Structure 1
Amino acid sequence: MENPEPPDSYRLNTGAPTEADIDQYRLLSANAAAGVGVVSTSWRGRDYAATVTGHLSVSYDPPTMLVSLYGESRIAEAVAESGIWALSLLTGSQRGIANWLASPGTPLEGLLTQVPYRRGTVSGAAIVDHALAHFELRTTQIHPAATHLLVVGEVLAMGSAASGADELDPLVHFGSAYYRLDR
Protein backbone atom coordinates (compact mmCIF):
# COMPACT_ATOMS: atom_id res chain seq x y z
CA MET A 1 0.00 0.00 0.00
CA GLU A 2 1.35 3.39 -1.01
CA ASN A 3 1.72 5.99 1.73
CA PRO A 4 -0.52 8.98 1.03
CA GLU A 5 1.04 12.44 1.11
CA PRO A 6 0.32 14.39 4.26
CA PRO A 7 -2.28 17.15 3.76
CA ASP A 8 0.36 19.86 4.26
CA SER A 9 2.56 18.52 1.45
CA TYR A 10 2.87 20.19 -1.95
CA ARG A 11 4.18 18.26 -4.95
CA LEU A 12 5.80 20.25 -7.74
CA ASN A 13 4.68 19.68 -11.29
CA THR A 14 6.99 17.63 -13.47
CA GLY A 15 9.04 19.57 -16.00
CA ALA A 16 9.36 23.31 -15.67
CA PRO A 17 7.91 24.76 -12.44
CA THR A 18 4.65 26.66 -12.78
CA GLU A 19 3.98 30.09 -11.27
CA ALA A 20 2.05 28.29 -8.51
CA ASP A 21 5.11 26.10 -7.79
CA ILE A 22 7.36 29.16 -7.61
CA ASP A 23 4.92 31.05 -5.36
CA GLN A 24 4.61 28.07 -3.00
CA TYR A 25 8.38 27.63 -2.87
CA ARG A 26 8.88 31.35 -2.17
CA LEU A 27 6.32 31.18 0.65
CA LEU A 28 7.79 28.08 2.29
CA SER A 29 11.47 28.94 1.84
CA ALA A 30 10.87 32.31 3.55
CA ASN A 31 10.42 30.29 6.75
CA ALA A 32 14.17 29.78 7.01
CA ALA A 33 15.62 32.52 9.22
CA ALA A 34 18.87 33.95 7.87
CA GLY A 35 21.36 36.60 8.87
CA VAL A 36 21.36 39.75 6.73
CA GLY A 37 24.53 40.99 5.11
CA VAL A 38 25.84 43.37 2.49
CA VAL A 39 28.09 42.15 -0.32
CA SER A 40 30.25 44.84 -1.87
CA THR A 41 33.04 45.21 -4.38
CA SER A 42 34.77 47.85 -6.47
CA TRP A 43 34.96 47.22 -10.19
CA ARG A 44 35.87 49.50 -13.08
CA GLY A 45 36.17 52.46 -10.71
CA ARG A 46 32.68 52.03 -9.21
CA ASP A 47 31.30 50.68 -5.96
CA TYR A 48 28.70 47.92 -6.06
CA ALA A 49 26.76 46.69 -3.04
CA ALA A 50 23.61 44.69 -2.34
CA THR A 51 21.75 43.17 0.60
CA VAL A 52 21.98 39.38 0.82
CA THR A 53 20.55 36.66 3.03
CA GLY A 54 22.06 33.75 1.11
CA HIS A 55 25.50 33.40 2.68
CA LEU A 56 27.22 30.78 4.77
CA SER A 57 30.47 29.65 6.27
CA VAL A 58 31.81 26.78 4.18
CA SER A 59 34.99 25.86 6.05
CA TYR A 60 37.13 26.96 8.97
CA ASP A 61 40.34 25.52 7.51
CA PRO A 62 40.99 27.39 5.36
CA PRO A 63 38.40 30.05 6.23
CA THR A 64 35.97 29.98 3.29
CA MET A 65 32.54 31.50 2.71
CA LEU A 66 29.85 31.34 0.05
CA VAL A 67 27.32 33.93 -1.10
CA SER A 68 24.36 33.45 -3.45
CA LEU A 69 23.76 36.32 -5.90
CA TYR A 70 21.02 36.72 -8.50
CA GLY A 71 22.86 35.92 -11.73
CA GLU A 72 21.55 38.86 -13.76
CA SER A 73 22.21 41.50 -11.08
CA ARG A 74 24.84 44.22 -11.22
CA ILE A 75 26.41 42.91 -8.01
CA ALA A 76 26.78 39.38 -9.42
CA GLU A 77 28.54 40.67 -12.52
CA ALA A 78 30.79 42.98 -10.49
CA VAL A 79 31.77 40.31 -7.93
CA ALA A 80 32.39 37.73 -10.65
CA GLU A 81 34.56 40.11 -12.67
CA SER A 82 36.46 41.79 -9.83
CA GLY A 83 37.33 38.53 -8.04
CA ILE A 84 37.60 40.27 -4.67
CA TRP A 85 34.74 41.36 -2.42
CA ALA A 86 33.52 41.97 1.11
CA LEU A 87 30.63 40.70 3.21
CA SER A 88 29.40 42.82 6.14
CA LEU A 89 26.94 41.14 8.54
CA LEU A 90 24.40 43.70 9.76
CA THR A 91 23.12 44.46 13.24
CA GLY A 92 19.48 45.09 14.12
CA SER A 93 20.09 48.85 14.09
CA GLN A 94 21.19 48.66 10.42
CA ARG A 95 17.79 47.75 8.96
CA GLY A 96 17.74 51.00 6.95
CA ILE A 97 20.95 49.99 5.17
CA ALA A 98 19.49 46.57 4.38
CA ASN A 99 16.32 48.15 2.96
CA TRP A 100 18.24 50.68 0.87
CA LEU A 101 20.60 48.16 -0.70
CA ALA A 102 17.78 45.63 -1.30
CA SER A 103 15.62 48.16 -3.15
CA PRO A 104 15.18 47.53 -6.87
CA GLY A 105 16.47 50.35 -9.00
CA THR A 106 18.97 51.81 -6.54
CA PRO A 107 21.22 54.23 -8.42
CA LEU A 108 24.63 53.13 -9.57
CA GLU A 109 26.05 56.58 -8.97
CA GLY A 110 25.87 57.54 -5.30
CA LEU A 111 24.78 54.07 -4.20
CA LEU A 112 26.74 54.30 -0.95
CA THR A 113 26.05 57.95 -0.08
CA GLN A 114 23.43 56.77 2.45
CA VAL A 115 25.64 54.04 3.90
CA PRO A 116 28.37 54.75 6.48
CA TYR A 117 31.34 52.63 5.46
CA ARG A 118 35.10 52.35 5.30
CA ARG A 119 37.34 50.65 2.77
CA GLY A 120 38.62 47.17 3.40
CA THR A 121 42.39 47.15 3.83
CA VAL A 122 42.83 44.12 1.56
CA SER A 123 39.88 44.26 -0.86
CA GLY A 124 39.28 47.98 -1.11
CA ALA A 125 35.57 47.11 -1.00
CA ALA A 126 33.09 49.01 1.18
CA ILE A 127 32.72 47.55 4.68
CA VAL A 128 29.65 48.78 6.55
CA ASP A 129 30.60 50.76 9.66
CA HIS A 130 29.68 49.08 12.97
CA ALA A 131 28.85 45.78 11.24
CA LEU A 132 28.46 42.73 13.44
CA ALA A 133 31.26 41.09 11.44
CA HIS A 134 33.00 41.68 8.15
CA PHE A 135 35.00 39.48 5.81
CA GLU A 136 37.18 40.37 2.84
CA LEU A 137 37.34 37.56 0.30
CA ARG A 138 38.98 36.44 -2.93
CA THR A 139 36.81 34.36 -5.24
CA THR A 140 37.99 30.77 -5.61
CA GLN A 141 34.98 29.26 -7.40
CA ILE A 142 31.74 30.36 -9.06
CA HIS A 143 28.94 27.85 -9.58
CA PRO A 144 25.87 28.72 -11.67
CA ALA A 145 22.76 27.36 -9.92
CA ALA A 146 19.34 28.01 -11.50
CA THR A 147 18.90 31.82 -11.52
CA HIS A 148 21.84 32.50 -9.19
CA LEU A 149 25.61 32.37 -8.93
CA LEU A 150 27.11 30.67 -5.89
CA VAL A 151 30.35 32.55 -5.26
CA VAL A 152 32.87 30.82 -3.01
CA GLY A 153 35.60 32.93 -1.50
CA GLU A 154 38.74 32.50 0.57
CA VAL A 155 38.75 34.84 3.57
CA LEU A 156 41.69 37.26 3.40
CA ALA A 157 40.79 39.53 6.34
CA MET A 158 37.99 39.77 8.91
CA GLY A 159 36.87 41.61 11.98
CA SER A 160 34.03 43.23 13.90
CA ALA A 161 33.20 46.85 14.59
CA ALA A 162 29.97 46.30 16.52
CA SER A 163 29.94 47.48 20.10
CA GLY A 164 27.68 47.48 23.12
CA ALA A 165 24.20 46.09 22.57
CA ASP A 166 24.81 45.76 18.80
CA GLU A 167 27.20 42.86 19.48
CA LEU A 168 24.20 40.75 20.53
CA ASP A 169 21.71 42.09 17.99
CA PRO A 170 22.00 40.54 14.51
CA LEU A 171 19.56 41.58 11.79
CA VAL A 172 17.59 38.50 10.72
CA HIS A 173 15.43 37.89 7.65
CA PHE A 174 12.37 35.68 8.21
CA GLY A 175 9.02 35.44 6.42
CA SER A 176 9.99 38.11 3.86
CA ALA A 177 10.74 40.73 6.56
CA TYR A 178 13.62 41.89 8.77
CA TYR A 179 13.64 41.26 12.52
CA ARG A 180 15.81 41.79 15.55
CA LEU A 181 16.33 39.01 18.04
CA ASP A 182 14.59 39.61 21.35
CA ARG A 183 16.95 38.95 24.20
Structure 2
Amino acid sequence: MAAQKDGERSDQRLRLRQAFGSFATGVTVVTSRTSEGAPVGFTANSFTSVSLEPPLLLVCLAKTSSNIGHFSQAGHFAVNILGEAQKGISNRFASRVPDRFADVIWRSSALKNPLIDGAVAWFDCETDNVVDAGDHVVLIGRIAGFDQTDGRPLAYLRGHYLDLGLAETAAESVSHHGGVRVGCLLNCQGQVLLRQTSEGWGLPMGAARPGFREGRTALEDTLCQSGIRAELGFLYSVFDAPSGNATWLIFHGDMEDGPLSDDLRLFPVQDLPLQDVTLRPVRSVLRRYQSEFREARFGLYVDGSKSAGQINPIDRNATPWSKLMNEQENIA
Protein backbone atom coordinates (compact mmCIF):
# COMPACT_ATOMS: atom_id res chain seq x y z
CA MET A 1 0.00 0.00 0.00
CA ALA A 2 2.84 2.41 0.86
CA ALA A 3 4.52 1.67 -2.46
CA GLN A 4 1.25 2.39 -4.30
CA LYS A 5 0.84 5.73 -2.51
CA ASP A 6 4.45 6.67 -3.30
CA GLY A 7 3.80 5.83 -6.94
CA GLU A 8 0.66 7.97 -6.98
CA ARG A 9 2.53 10.90 -5.42
CA SER A 10 5.34 10.54 -7.95
CA ASP A 11 2.84 10.50 -10.82
CA GLN A 12 1.10 13.57 -9.42
CA ARG A 13 4.41 15.43 -9.14
CA LEU A 14 5.25 14.57 -12.75
CA ARG A 15 1.84 15.76 -13.99
CA LEU A 16 2.19 18.96 -11.95
CA ARG A 17 5.61 19.62 -13.51
CA GLN A 18 4.11 19.07 -16.94
CA ALA A 19 1.28 21.50 -16.12
CA PHE A 20 3.78 24.12 -14.93
CA GLY A 21 5.70 23.52 -18.16
CA SER A 22 2.69 24.70 -20.19
CA PHE A 23 3.66 28.28 -19.29
CA ALA A 24 6.25 29.66 -21.69
CA THR A 25 9.10 31.44 -19.92
CA GLY A 26 12.33 33.20 -20.58
CA VAL A 27 15.63 31.61 -19.55
CA THR A 28 18.06 33.24 -17.13
CA VAL A 29 21.38 32.47 -15.54
CA VAL A 30 21.59 33.64 -11.91
CA THR A 31 25.11 34.44 -10.75
CA SER A 32 26.98 35.42 -7.61
CA ARG A 33 30.30 34.73 -5.88
CA THR A 34 31.36 32.48 -3.06
CA SER A 35 32.87 33.87 0.12
CA GLU A 36 36.25 33.16 -1.48
CA GLY A 37 35.30 35.21 -4.56
CA ALA A 38 34.81 32.34 -7.03
CA PRO A 39 31.95 32.86 -9.54
CA VAL A 40 28.90 30.60 -9.18
CA GLY A 41 25.70 30.38 -11.20
CA PHE A 42 22.72 28.30 -12.25
CA THR A 43 20.07 28.31 -14.98
CA ALA A 44 16.60 29.41 -13.90
CA ASN A 45 13.29 29.97 -15.64
CA SER A 46 11.44 30.51 -12.34
CA PHE A 47 12.12 34.26 -12.47
CA THR A 48 9.70 37.17 -12.28
CA SER A 49 9.48 40.86 -11.53
CA VAL A 50 7.94 41.72 -8.16
CA SER A 51 7.82 45.48 -7.71
CA LEU A 52 8.78 48.74 -9.41
CA GLU A 53 8.89 50.76 -6.21
CA PRO A 54 10.97 49.53 -4.57
CA PRO A 55 12.54 47.70 -7.55
CA LEU A 56 12.34 43.99 -6.64
CA LEU A 57 12.54 40.68 -8.48
CA LEU A 58 12.57 37.07 -7.43
CA VAL A 59 14.04 33.78 -8.57
CA CYS A 60 13.53 30.26 -7.18
CA LEU A 61 16.28 27.79 -6.35
CA ALA A 62 15.78 24.10 -5.52
CA LYS A 63 16.98 23.04 -2.09
CA THR A 64 18.72 20.09 -3.77
CA SER A 65 20.89 22.46 -5.82
CA SER A 66 24.62 22.43 -5.21
CA ASN A 67 24.38 26.23 -5.14
CA ILE A 68 21.87 26.45 -2.30
CA GLY A 69 24.45 27.31 0.35
CA HIS A 70 26.13 30.06 -1.67
CA PHE A 71 22.96 31.84 -2.77
CA SER A 72 21.11 31.50 0.54
CA GLN A 73 23.94 33.28 2.35
CA ALA A 74 25.22 35.67 -0.32
CA GLY A 75 24.25 39.29 0.08
CA HIS A 76 24.00 39.86 -3.67
CA PHE A 77 23.29 38.15 -6.99
CA ALA A 78 22.64 38.99 -10.65
CA VAL A 79 20.04 37.75 -13.12
CA ASN A 80 21.17 37.44 -16.75
CA ILE A 81 18.33 37.06 -19.28
CA LEU A 82 19.79 34.94 -22.07
CA GLY A 83 19.51 35.65 -25.79
CA GLU A 84 18.16 33.14 -28.31
CA ALA A 85 21.70 32.21 -29.41
CA GLN A 86 22.74 31.25 -25.86
CA LYS A 87 21.23 27.78 -25.56
CA GLY A 88 24.69 26.38 -24.91
CA ILE A 89 25.15 28.68 -21.93
CA SER A 90 21.73 27.72 -20.59
CA ASN A 91 22.57 24.02 -20.85
CA ARG A 92 26.00 24.52 -19.32
CA PHE A 93 24.68 26.31 -16.23
CA ALA A 94 21.92 23.69 -15.87
CA SER A 95 24.47 20.86 -15.89
CA ARG A 96 26.79 19.57 -13.19
CA VAL A 97 30.08 20.38 -14.92
CA PRO A 98 32.81 21.40 -12.46
CA ASP A 99 33.45 24.84 -14.02
CA ARG A 100 30.32 26.36 -15.50
CA PHE A 101 32.13 29.59 -16.36
CA ALA A 102 34.73 27.90 -18.57
CA ASP A 103 34.65 29.39 -22.08
CA VAL A 104 31.93 31.87 -21.01
CA ILE A 105 32.72 35.56 -21.47
CA TRP A 106 31.63 37.63 -18.49
CA ARG A 107 32.49 40.72 -16.50
CA SER A 108 31.92 41.87 -12.94
CA SER A 109 29.04 44.16 -12.01
CA ALA A 110 29.21 47.01 -9.52
CA LEU A 111 28.23 44.46 -6.85
CA LYS A 112 30.90 42.02 -8.13
CA ASN A 113 28.31 39.66 -9.62
CA PRO A 114 29.21 37.97 -12.95
CA LEU A 115 27.38 39.51 -15.93
CA ILE A 116 27.31 37.25 -18.99
CA ASP A 117 28.26 38.78 -22.31
CA GLY A 118 25.47 38.67 -24.90
CA ALA A 119 22.58 38.57 -22.41
CA VAL A 120 19.61 40.61 -23.64
CA ALA A 121 19.17 42.11 -20.16
CA TRP A 122 20.74 41.91 -16.72
CA PHE A 123 19.81 42.93 -13.17
CA ASP A 124 22.41 43.52 -10.46
CA CYS A 125 20.76 42.84 -7.09
CA GLU A 126 21.32 43.03 -3.37
CA THR A 127 19.60 40.17 -1.54
CA ASP A 128 16.48 41.61 0.07
CA ASN A 129 15.07 38.39 1.53
CA VAL A 130 15.37 34.61 1.33
CA VAL A 131 12.03 32.86 1.78
CA ASP A 132 11.61 29.16 2.52
CA ALA A 133 9.00 27.72 0.11
CA GLY A 134 8.51 23.96 0.09
CA ASP A 135 11.28 22.22 -1.84
CA HIS A 136 12.68 25.58 -3.02
CA VAL A 137 13.91 28.85 -1.59
CA VAL A 138 12.80 32.16 -3.08
CA LEU A 139 15.56 34.72 -3.54
CA ILE A 140 14.14 38.23 -3.52
CA GLY A 141 16.54 40.81 -4.90
CA ARG A 142 16.53 44.60 -4.68
CA ILE A 143 17.72 45.88 -8.05
CA ALA A 144 20.77 48.15 -7.80
CA GLY A 145 21.51 48.33 -11.53
CA PHE A 146 20.24 46.94 -14.82
CA ASP A 147 20.54 47.23 -18.59
CA GLN A 148 18.94 45.74 -21.71
CA THR A 149 19.41 45.34 -25.48
CA ASP A 150 17.07 44.85 -28.45
CA GLY A 151 18.07 41.20 -28.88
CA ARG A 152 15.58 38.32 -28.94
CA PRO A 153 15.35 36.42 -25.62
CA LEU A 154 15.75 32.66 -25.29
CA ALA A 155 12.36 31.07 -24.57
CA TYR A 156 11.39 27.74 -23.03
CA LEU A 157 8.16 25.71 -23.18
CA ARG A 158 7.33 22.10 -22.23
CA GLY A 159 10.93 21.05 -21.96
CA HIS A 160 12.08 22.60 -25.24
CA TYR A 161 13.63 25.84 -26.39
CA LEU A 162 11.58 28.03 -28.70
CA ASP A 163 12.97 29.96 -31.67
CA LEU A 164 10.76 33.03 -31.52
CA GLY A 165 11.98 34.54 -34.78
CA LEU A 166 12.45 31.35 -36.78
CA ALA A 167 9.09 31.34 -38.55
CA GLU A 168 9.33 34.96 -39.65
CA THR A 169 12.91 34.52 -40.85
CA ALA A 170 12.06 31.35 -42.75
CA ALA A 171 9.05 32.95 -44.42
CA GLU A 172 11.15 35.89 -45.54
CA SER A 173 13.82 33.55 -46.95
CA VAL A 174 11.39 31.61 -49.15
CA SER A 175 8.93 34.00 -50.73
CA HIS A 176 8.00 37.64 -50.95
CA HIS A 177 4.78 37.26 -52.90
CA GLY A 178 1.26 36.09 -52.21
CA GLY A 179 1.43 36.25 -48.43
CA VAL A 180 1.69 33.45 -45.90
CA ARG A 181 -0.52 30.45 -45.17
CA VAL A 182 0.04 28.66 -41.87
CA GLY A 183 -0.93 25.05 -41.25
CA CYS A 184 -0.19 22.38 -38.69
CA LEU A 185 0.76 18.74 -38.29
CA LEU A 186 -0.94 17.74 -35.04
CA ASN A 187 -0.06 14.63 -33.07
CA CYS A 188 -2.56 13.02 -30.69
CA GLN A 189 -1.11 10.01 -28.88
CA GLY A 190 0.70 8.72 -31.96
CA GLN A 191 -1.99 9.73 -34.43
CA VAL A 192 -2.02 12.56 -36.97
CA LEU A 193 -5.01 14.81 -37.64
CA LEU A 194 -5.99 15.17 -41.30
CA ARG A 195 -8.79 17.17 -42.93
CA GLN A 196 -10.88 15.95 -45.88
CA THR A 197 -10.92 18.51 -48.71
CA SER A 198 -11.98 18.56 -52.34
CA GLU A 199 -8.39 17.56 -53.15
CA GLY A 200 -8.30 14.58 -50.79
CA TRP A 201 -6.82 14.44 -47.32
CA GLY A 202 -4.69 17.36 -46.17
CA LEU A 203 -3.45 19.20 -43.11
CA PRO A 204 -5.50 21.76 -41.14
CA MET A 205 -4.67 25.14 -42.69
CA GLY A 206 -5.55 28.75 -42.03
CA ALA A 207 -6.38 31.20 -44.80
CA ALA A 208 -3.60 33.04 -46.64
CA ARG A 209 -2.68 36.32 -45.00
CA PRO A 210 -0.19 39.14 -45.75
CA GLY A 211 2.28 38.18 -43.03
CA PHE A 212 3.26 35.46 -40.56
CA ARG A 213 1.50 36.84 -37.50
CA GLU A 214 -1.78 37.24 -39.38
CA GLY A 215 -1.34 33.76 -40.88
CA ARG A 216 -0.77 32.23 -37.46
CA THR A 217 -3.90 33.94 -36.16
CA ALA A 218 -5.90 32.60 -39.13
CA LEU A 219 -4.79 29.05 -38.29
CA GLU A 220 -5.65 29.46 -34.62
CA ASP A 221 -9.11 30.74 -35.62
CA THR A 222 -9.60 27.70 -37.88
CA LEU A 223 -8.65 25.31 -35.07
CA CYS A 224 -10.92 27.09 -32.61
CA GLN A 225 -13.89 26.99 -34.99
CA SER A 226 -13.34 23.25 -35.46
CA GLY A 227 -13.22 22.65 -31.71
CA ILE A 228 -9.60 21.48 -31.88
CA ARG A 229 -7.64 22.07 -28.70
CA ALA A 230 -3.99 22.11 -29.68
CA GLU A 231 -0.63 23.49 -28.62
CA LEU A 232 1.53 24.55 -31.57
CA GLY A 233 5.21 23.79 -31.12
CA PHE A 234 8.15 24.06 -33.48
CA LEU A 235 8.17 25.06 -37.14
CA TYR A 236 8.36 21.85 -39.20
CA SER A 237 8.29 22.76 -42.89
CA VAL A 238 8.44 25.89 -45.08
CA PHE A 239 7.82 25.87 -48.81
CA ASP A 240 6.12 27.76 -51.61
CA ALA A 241 2.48 26.79 -52.09
CA PRO A 242 1.68 24.27 -54.86
CA SER A 243 0.04 27.11 -56.77
CA GLY A 244 3.09 29.29 -56.20
CA ASN A 245 1.06 32.18 -54.84
CA ALA A 246 2.00 32.03 -51.13
CA THR A 247 4.47 30.64 -48.63
CA TRP A 248 3.26 27.72 -46.54
CA LEU A 249 4.54 27.32 -42.97
CA ILE A 250 3.67 24.03 -41.29
CA PHE A 251 4.00 23.82 -37.51
CA HIS A 252 4.23 20.66 -35.47
CA GLY A 253 1.95 20.51 -32.46
CA ASP A 254 0.13 18.33 -29.95
CA MET A 255 -3.64 18.14 -29.61
CA GLU A 256 -6.04 16.85 -27.00
CA ASP A 257 -8.28 13.90 -27.77
CA GLY A 258 -11.93 14.82 -28.29
CA PRO A 259 -14.89 14.75 -30.69
CA LEU A 260 -14.13 15.71 -34.29
CA SER A 261 -16.29 17.05 -37.10
CA ASP A 262 -17.05 14.81 -40.10
CA ASP A 263 -14.25 16.30 -42.21
CA LEU A 264 -11.56 15.56 -39.61
CA ARG A 265 -10.00 12.23 -38.71
CA LEU A 266 -7.07 10.87 -36.74
CA PHE A 267 -4.80 8.34 -38.45
CA PRO A 268 -2.00 6.29 -36.83
CA VAL A 269 1.32 7.77 -37.94
CA GLN A 270 2.37 4.66 -39.86
CA ASP A 271 -1.06 4.22 -41.51
CA LEU A 272 -1.53 7.62 -43.11
CA PRO A 273 -3.60 7.53 -46.34
CA LEU A 274 -0.80 8.94 -48.47
CA GLN A 275 -2.39 7.63 -51.66
CA ASP A 276 -5.33 9.97 -51.00
CA VAL A 277 -3.17 13.06 -50.32
CA THR A 278 -3.06 14.67 -53.75
CA LEU A 279 -0.87 17.68 -52.95
CA ARG A 280 2.70 16.55 -53.39
CA PRO A 281 4.30 18.91 -50.82
CA VAL A 282 1.84 17.78 -48.15
CA ARG A 283 2.45 14.15 -49.05
CA SER A 284 6.18 14.80 -48.71
CA VAL A 285 5.69 16.40 -45.30
CA LEU A 286 3.73 13.39 -44.07
CA ARG A 287 6.22 10.84 -45.44
CA ARG A 288 9.07 12.65 -43.73
CA TYR A 289 7.10 12.77 -40.48
CA GLN A 290 6.55 9.01 -40.58
CA SER A 291 10.30 8.45 -40.82
CA GLU A 292 11.27 11.03 -38.22
CA PHE A 293 8.54 9.93 -35.80
CA ARG A 294 9.99 6.41 -35.72
CA GLU A 295 13.40 7.77 -34.77
CA ALA A 296 12.05 10.58 -32.55
CA ARG A 297 14.41 12.96 -34.37
CA PHE A 298 12.89 15.85 -36.26
CA GLY A 299 14.09 18.47 -38.70
CA LEU A 300 12.93 21.75 -40.21
CA TYR A 301 12.56 21.62 -44.01
CA VAL A 302 13.04 24.91 -45.84
CA ASP A 303 12.50 25.19 -49.60
CA GLY A 304 15.54 26.03 -51.65
CA SER A 305 15.95 28.36 -54.61
CA LYS A 306 16.17 25.32 -56.91
CA SER A 307 14.33 22.01 -56.93
CA ALA A 308 15.29 20.91 -53.42
CA GLY A 309 15.60 22.55 -50.07
CA GLN A 310 17.34 21.40 -46.92
CA ILE A 311 16.41 19.81 -43.60
CA ASN A 312 17.86 21.37 -40.45
CA PRO A 313 17.89 19.02 -37.43
CA ILE A 314 15.78 19.99 -34.43
CA ASP A 315 16.83 18.86 -30.94
CA ARG A 316 13.57 17.46 -29.66
CA ASN A 317 12.51 14.48 -27.55
CA ALA A 318 16.16 13.74 -26.87
CA THR A 319 15.68 13.87 -23.09
CA PRO A 320 12.70 12.44 -21.20
CA TRP A 321 10.88 15.02 -19.08
CA SER A 322 11.59 13.19 -15.80
CA LYS A 323 15.31 12.99 -16.59
CA LEU A 324 15.35 16.68 -17.51
CA MET A 325 13.84 17.54 -14.12
CA ASN A 326 16.50 15.54 -12.30
CA GLU A 327 19.42 16.94 -14.28
CA GLN A 328 18.45 20.59 -14.30
CA GLU A 329 18.15 22.83 -11.28
CA ASN A 330 15.98 25.47 -12.90
CA ILE A 331 12.42 24.07 -12.83
CA ALA A 332 10.27 25.33 -10.01
TM-score, length of structure 1 as denominator length? 0.82
Q: Report the residue type matching 1:64 in the other structure.
A: L
Structure 2 CA distance for aligned equivalents of residues 53 and 86 of structure 1: 14
Equivalent position of 1:175 in the other structure: 158
Q: Which runs of 4+ in 1 moved over 3 A?
A: none
The structure with higher relative contact order (CA 8 Å, sep 6+) is 1
Structure 1 CA distance for aligned equivalents of residues 117 and 14 of structure 2: 36
Equivalent position of 1:54 in the other structure: 46
Equivalent position of 2:35 in the other structure: 44
Would you say the 8 A contact 1:40–1:75 is kept in 2? no
Identity over the aligned pairs, expressed in percent? 25
Q: Report the residue type matching 1:120 in the other structure.
A: S
Unmatched tracts of structure 1, length 5 or more:
1-13
Structure 1 residue matching 2:73: 3-state secondary structure: helix
Would you say the 8 A contact 1:115–1:128 is kept in 2? yes
Structure 1 residue matching 2:103: 3-state secondary structure: coil
After superposition, the C-alpha distances for 1:43-91 in whole angstroms (9 at most, x for unaligned) are 1222111110001000011110000011231323211111100000001
Structure 1 CA distance for aligned equivalents of residues 107 and 151 of structure 2: 22
Structure 2 residue matching 1:74: 3-state secondary structure: coil
Query: Which has the higher Rg, Structure 1 or Structure 2?
Result: 2
Q: Within 5 Å, which residues of 2 pair with 1:1-183?
A: 18-45=9-36, 46-103=38-95, 105-107=96-98, 110-121=99-110, 123-160=111-148, 162=149, 167-182=150-165, 183=168
RMSD over aligned Cα, in angstroms? 1.9
After superposition, the C-alpha distances for 1:113-169 in whole angstroms (9 at most, x for unaligned) are 121111112x21111102110001111111111110011110011113x4xxxx241
Structure 1 CA distance for aligned equivalents of residues 29 and 70 of structure 2: 14
Q: How many residue pairs end up in the alignment?
A: 161
Would you say the 8 A contact 1:43–1:81 is kept in 2? no
Structure 2 CA distance for aligned equivalents of residues 147 and 106 of structure 1: 23
Structure 2 residue matching 1:101: 3-state secondary structure: helix
Structure 1 CA distance for aligned equivalents of residues 86 and 40 of structure 2: 18
Structure 2 CA distance for aligned equivalents of residues 106 and 140 of structure 1: 29
Higher helix residue share: 2
Structure 2 CA distance for aligned equivalents of residues 100 and 86 of structure 1: 17
Structure 2 residue matching 1:92: 3-state secondary structure: coil
TM-score, length of structure 2 as denominator length? 0.46
Would you say the 8 A contact 1:83–1:138 is kept in 2? yes
